[in-house]
Amino acid sequence: MRLARTGRVVTFTRDHVYPLGGPMSMTVVDLDGGGRFYGQTAGDVPLEIGMGVRLVPRVLHRGGGLPHYFWKVVPDADRR
Amino acid sequence: MPIAGEVAIVGAGVTRFGVLHDRSYLDLIAEASFAALEDAGVGLGQVDAAWLGTAEPWTAGLVGDSGAAVAEALRSGPMPVTRVSNFCTSGMEAVRGAAMAIAAGEYEVCLAIGAEKMRDVTPRGSLVAKTAEHTHPTIAKGRTAPGQFALLARRYMHEYGATVEDLAEVAVKNHDHAVLNPKAHFRKPITKEQVLAAPRVAEPLGVFDCTPTTDGAAVLVLASRSWAERHARRYASSKVSASR
């Protein structure tokens, strides 16, 4: 079963103690059709609980000199 | 046999909590253990087994990575000791392990030890940096302890209408209690304004909403109910061991 790439914000935070790269924005998403995603938000964007969001592939980190890709959360412009 | 009603707490010992650079990890285990044994009226030789809960043994040079640390700290004779680790619930995990062994009828008297030396780290940020570096390569990246509790706080506020002012009152209450506790780490009262003005750690939580990093140890002496009825000066047992 494929998880949807769209969903709604359950909760979020801006974490100031994450030691690499300044405040870390983390979001929990209820995916459309089932499943829950917990990961980084792409960029420092204002979020609200219930907001429509999308998962997009982004570079998570560059361990060992190689880019590691994973999903990050962005507001879904098509769905408020 | 279930834990509830069948396992008794017959003694307790606690060290002072704070930045304790002059006390080693083994010192803390010894102080809290002997205080608990004295409180219970139990001799070291009467202890059948122990559980040691320590979340971060590497800050004490790997000493706490095995239950052997208890034998070393207490100079006890051969005794089975299990070291457990479950992040912030490591202490409770030690209690749970000892209680289950007693409820199973394997032992009559056990020590449940929680000990942590969180402050022997330089640089200051290395505990969090370690978490960031050693987590799952994708799933846990970006996650910190306060960052996770912040998610719960924000959702809780959304569902129940609580505010950061409500959370601030919890911190004020905790500091008020600490004024009365000679073993507490911080013992000055704080105001709601100070809590709200403090730097944010992981929004919406600020410095005073989060636990400090602290050195300390606490020990419980646990026994079977039948042992407690025969020997204990006083004891407490729980009605339930978990609830939903």
Contact B144/A40, CB-based, under 8 Å?
no
C-alpha to C-alpha distance for A72 and A58, rounded to whole angstroms: 6
Return the bridge partners of B237, or none: B8
Q: Which amino acid is at B178?
A: A
Q: In the prediction, which pLDDT does B162 show?
A: 97
Query: Would you place residue A44 in the very low, low, confident or very high pLDDT band (cuts 50, 70, 90)?
Result: confident
Q: In the prediction, which pLDDT does B242 show?
A: 60
Answer whether 0.90 is exceeded by the pTM.
no
Interface test with A, best of B128, B139, B151, B157 (most A CBs within 10 A): B151
B151 interfaces chain A, CB cutoff of 8 Å: yes
Query: Would you place residue A60 in the very low, low, confident or very high pLDDT band (cuts 50, 70, 90)?
Result: confident
B158 interfaces chain A, CB cutoff of 8 Å: yes
For B189-224, what is each residue's pLDDT tens digit?
Answer: 999 999 999 999 999 999 999 999 899 999 999 999
Q: Which amino acid is at B184?
A: A
Query: Helix or strand or coil: residue B215?
Result: strand
Residue ranges with strand state E in chain B: 7-14, 49-53, 81-84, 109-117, 200-202, 205-206, 215-224, 236-237
Which residues from chain B sit within 8 angstroms of residue A24, using beta carbons?
A: 142, 144, 147
Structure-block tokens of residue B59: 């800050």
Structure-block tokens of residue B82: 């299990």
Q: Which amino acid is at B146?
A: P
Give one word for B161, left, alpha or beta, with left for phi > 0 and alpha for psi -120 to 50. Answer: left
- Tell how far CA B74 is from the center of its chain: 19
Query: Would you place residue A62 in the very low, low, confident or very high pLDDT band (cuts 50, 70, 90)?
Result: confident
**Omega within 30 of 0 (cis) for the link into B212:** no
**Pick from B141, B146, B202: CB nearest A61:** B141
DSSP assignment string, B76-122: --S--EEEE-BTBTHHHHHHHHHHHHHHTTS-SEEEEEEEEE-S--S
Which residues from chain B sit within 8 angstroms of residue A66, using beta carbons?
A: none
Interface test with A, best of B154, B167, B201, B207 (most A CBs within 10 A): B154
DSSP assignment string, A25-75: EEEEEEETTS-EEEEEBSSS----TT-EEEEEEEEEE-GGGS-EEEEEEEE
Residue-level pLDDT, tens digit, chain B, 244 residues: 678 889 999 999 999 999 999 999 999 999 999 999 999 999 999 999 999 999 887 666 678 888 999 999 999 988 999 999 998 899 999 999 999 999 999 999 999 999 999 887 655 555 566 666 666 776 678 888 899 999 999 999 999 999 999 999 999 999 999 999 999 999 999 999 999 999 999 999 999 999 998 999 999 999 999 999 999 998 988 776 565 5
C-alpha to C-alpha distance for B40 and B35, rounded to whole angstroms: 9
Contact A26/B125, CB-based, under 8 Å?
no
Structure-block tokens of residue B243: 């609830």
Q: In the prediction, which pLDDT does B69 show?
A: 93
For A1-33, what is each residue's pLDDT tens digit?
Answer: 899 999 999 999 999 988 777 799 999 999 999
